[in-house]
Structure 1
Amino acid sequence: MELLQYYYFNKMAEFENLSRAAEALYVSQPSLSKMLSRIENEVGFALFDRHGKSLQLNEYGKIFLTHSQQIVNHSESIQEALNQVAHTASRRLRMASSNTSLLNRWLYDFIKKAPDLGLRHTILNDNQAIMQLLSGEIDYAITLGRLAHPELTSQLLWTDSYQVVANAHSKYAHLKEVYFYELKEANFFALPQKPDFPRYIDQLARQAEFVPRIIFESEIELILEILPSLDALIVCLEQSDTFYSRLEGISAIRLLDPFAACDVFINWHKDKQHNDAGKMLLTYITEDLPHLFVKESQLGEQRLRKPRYAE
């Protein structure tokens, strides 16, 4: 027996009148009468005592109604559960980034605007991000530089720049700007090396063509604790990295090298059908994110000058 038959039967039992039940169900009275006959033929018993268009449940009908109501109620609870799952899925966002610093300043602001959002974030290198975007395991990837793949779409979020942070006791603390090569004798802090995750210090040193004298590897918590007391520098991003702002006596030194500029992109599969959470994120980065970051359309003139060390 179809679910619709149980539903119609319950309405007939509720109104005890074919005409009123048909009106409530937006069907004709003859078609509802045929439905009742079909139900009774299937169960093999008359379920109502008829008095014209009026109906009265008999002994069989009362038993049938008890089970019919349970069936309809159970079907509605199933639908509610499915709707809840669908709603939860529509509010779920799966993201990845190559560095958590790329989420600073803006992700918390986005979450505040969508407090019921379900968020999963993972750290992936560029190749891993491409594979998971293509497979649908993640919805978006935030990366330094565009992910190059014909099936992916990328959008510039902001243009950032590498900088060097020093404490007040450092011999470099008086500098406002410098070419990275001029720091070849400096000591550096850096996060531990990980396979397939190039560090900022390694990328810049390679392009400036020197090997740092000392790199003190540590997790960020220890770096924050000892940075104010040791004469060592740390490479970070001007707009994205905000950890040093928690410390006193710390100065930022701007890098003048052309390669010290970098673009931050959000990437997704071009055929991706975004759910509600995904659409909210795209709206946020279009309408709200520009107010948090200063986008630079081109490098400043100071980065295009001839390096002092090449003179």
Structure 2
Amino acid sequence: MELRHLRYFVTLAEELHFGKAAEKLHIAQPPLSQQIRQLETELGFELFHRTKRKVELSEAGEVFLVEVQQIFRQLEQAIFLGRQVSRGEIGQLVVGFVSSAAYNILPNILQNTRNSIPNVSLELHELTTDEQLRWLQSGRIDVGFVRPPVDENTYESKVIFQESLAIALPQNHFLANQDRVSLQSLKNESFILFPRFLAPGLYDQIISFCQQVGFSPKVAQEAIQMQTIVSLVAAEIGVAIVPESLQNLRRTGVIYKYFVEKTPQVSIAIIWRKNDVSVVLDRFLEVF
């Protein structure tokens, strides 16, 4: 049994006239009659009652018609979904992001994705840059938002956001009333910083910024997540140089100040595996 045999049957069932059905199917009437008889033989029951004057569906034919029409509806749905998948309009992406991205680019990314490809679902994982590189290499995530630089031989990447640095201070710090803070005035402070291996690009920019004004920061405590760093500032463990968008993280006991000095521009990049052939990923990348 072939799909065309079922199409012949449905058309004849709708027309109940071999001549009209044959014309609609663009075939001659004798071959249509022959194909219907072959189908009945294969099925083992009669689909139509035929007389010289009319053609009628048998009781079995009426039941068979309902089921075959359901098959064609499912087939149309399968074709529709297949086309959506082939165009990257439906599917899932597993996405990693550094914690600070939640305070700048991530909300817009989620909104733009919903607007552009609403049937693509995103599975989000908050990860450090170092963790994202490992997860991306092992296939656990499809795309990430990291602090560059990254290995250009292994990954494709694109910088999508840049910002300046700011200083997070305890709210009762002696510099809290100043409009802007000179970095040099913090040379004797204890700093809270993350381990370098987690995001070496951002780490090196912070250290270099301090060295440009003549000191290396004294690290009192290390923490992995930006939220933890800010909480330690609130606990008066030290001060922290952070991306300026972290001001969107409202934390009692912490104030943020801009620097007098011009700060380096710190970036967030979107990153994915080289030669990734995912159509859904291609559609996602079009958002940027």
Q: TM-score, normalised by structure 1?
A: 0.67
Residue matched to 2:189: 186
CA deviation after TM superposition for structure 1 residue 68, in Å: 4.7
The answer as to whether partners of 1:151 and 1:269 remain within 8 angstroms in 2 is yes
Residue matched to 1:120: 123
Map 1:66-215 → 2, pairs under 5 A:
66-74=63-71, 76-77=73-74, 80=77, 90-97=90-97, 99-113=98-112, 114=114, 116=118, 117-126=120-129, 128-134=131-137, 136-173=139-176, 174=178, 176-179=180-183, 183-189=186-192, 196-198=197-199, 203=204, 207=208, 208=211, 210=216, 212=218, 214-215=220-221
The answer as to whether partners of 1:164 and 1:255 remain within 8 angstroms in 2 is no
CA deviation after TM superposition for structure 1 residue 241, in Å: 2.0
- Residue 252 in 1 paired to residue 257 in 2? yes
Residue matched to 1:33: 33
Map 1:210-289 → 2, pairs under 5 A:
210=216, 212=218, 214-215=220-221, 230=236, 232-238=238-244, 240-244=245-249, 250-254=255-259, 256=261, 260-275=264-279, 278-279=282-283, 281-285=284-288
Deviations 1:52-97 (A, max 9, x none): 584223xxx4214413532441463366368558858725332112
* CA–CA separation in structure 1 for the residues paired with 2:94 and 2:111: 17
Find the residue that maps to 2:242 and give its secondary structure.
Answer: strand
Closer, same or farther in 2 for the Cα pair 1:34/1:104, shift >3 Å? farther
Q: TM-score, normalised by structure 2?
A: 0.71
The answer as to whether partners of 2:135 and 2:141 remain within 8 angstroms in 1 is yes
* CA–CA separation in structure 2 for the residues paired with 1:160 and 1:220: 16
The percentage of aligned residue pairs carrying the same residue is 18
CA deviation after TM superposition for structure 1 residue 36, in Å: 1.0
CA RMSD of aligned residues (A): 4.1
CA deviation after TM superposition for structure 1 residue 133, in Å: 3.8
* CA–CA separation in structure 1 for the residues paired with 2:223 and 2:23: 77
Q: Structure 1: which 5+ residue stretches go unaligned?
A: 286-311
* CA–CA separation in structure 2 for the residues paired with 1:75 and 1:241: 55
CA deviation after TM superposition for structure 1 residue 43, in Å: 3.4
Find the residue that maps to 1:77 and give its secondary structure.
Answer: helix
Deviations 1:263-288 (A, max 9, x none): 32111234334545752x43432xxx
* CA–CA separation in structure 2 for the residues paired with 1:135 and 1:224: 31
* CA–CA separation in structure 1 for the residues paired with 2:224 and 2:43: 76
Q: Structure 2: which 5+ residue stretches go unaligned?
A: none
